[in-house]
Amino acid sequence: MSSLQGARVLITGGAGFVGSQIADKLIDSGASRIVILDNLIRGSRQNLAYAIASERVELIEGDVRDAELVSSLMEGVDVVFHQSALRITHCAQEPMLASDVMHRGLQNVLEAATRWGVSKVVAASSASVYGEPSYLPIDEGHPFNNRTLYGALKIGEEQMLRAYAEMSGLRYLALRPFNIYGPRMDIHGLYTEVMIRWLQRLSEGESPIIFGDGSQTMDFIHVEDVARAYLLAAESDETDDVFNVGSGTDTSLLELCSFLCEEMGVPDAKPEFKPPRSVNPVSRRLASTAHIRECLGFEPRIKLREGLQDLVRWYKTPAGAV
């Protein structure tokens, strides 16, 4: 186990939802220098207010597809957190862009990491690689039943990491987060998450919309827990492996909607039901967390109701939607 105290770190997509939370935790862990590469399309400077105030963070507005830029930022870096990606819905609507950003972007990172002798790359994969589950809970050996472009690209990213480990001895871990929620979720973008759309409608006196009958379940994990898992992965001696990051509890959309209505002060609000959408039509998600617990010592700390209260508090502040 190696400490991040004094480490020099690069975070691609570091101004985004998860990347900015990683930056905050790196500051608290004593990292000496954090370079963040972000095109600020999904991310924002506001997300980095705490980290930037430490004066140990440099934000570079740029594109992960720029190989020369990525290489120039990699010199002297100890650990890379690769978070750059497009949302699943965005991938479906702009497949060529998605492939370019997620495939070429990662390859630029891996080429530069290999060239400059980076100690470890910790990359964001996704539970989307599993698709419709063949069994529950879903462990890391579950087959790839994915039928989305986003999931296909994430599978490809995992394979690229493995190939570079074989070719050049790259040390890496990939994490497969399940359904991440919490403060700094994208509010104003075109491809917002279901919780944000519900919060927006509830705040405007409208009914939240559920696509389907609401029986589909997800494994919700708070972003702070996810960020902590990334740091544990960076500090671990483990390499050449993948880990689920989930709560180990499944919650139906009907339950989630009811919880959010209560936290927003409108417990009697009723959802509006619409036909299921074709993007990512997965009926159930439930993570097996045994592997990450045994290898990295990770246990989720934030329960769903506590986490939803945190999300609603943030949403109601100037930093959120109001």
Helix axes 253-263, 304-315, angle to 10 degrees: 50
> pTM of the full predicted structure?
0.96
Residue 318: asked if its preceding bond is cis (omega within 30°), the reply is no
Question: Contact 49/21 with Cβ under 8 angstroms?
Answer: no
**What are the structural domains, with CATH classification, of the chain?**
8-181+220-248+283-303 (3.40.50.720)
Mean pLDDT computed over every residue of the chain:
94
Catalytic site positions: 150
Q: Is residue 12 predicted with pLDDT exceeding 80?
A: yes
Alpha helix stretches (DSSP H) within the chain: 17-28, 49-53, 67-74, 88-93, 95-99, 105-116, 149-168, 194-203, 223-235, 253-263, 290-296, 304-315
Q: For the segment 108-163, what is each residue's pLDDT rounded down to a tens digit? A: 999 999 999 999 999 999 999 999 999 999 999 999 999 999 999 999 999 999 99
First to last CA, the chain: 43
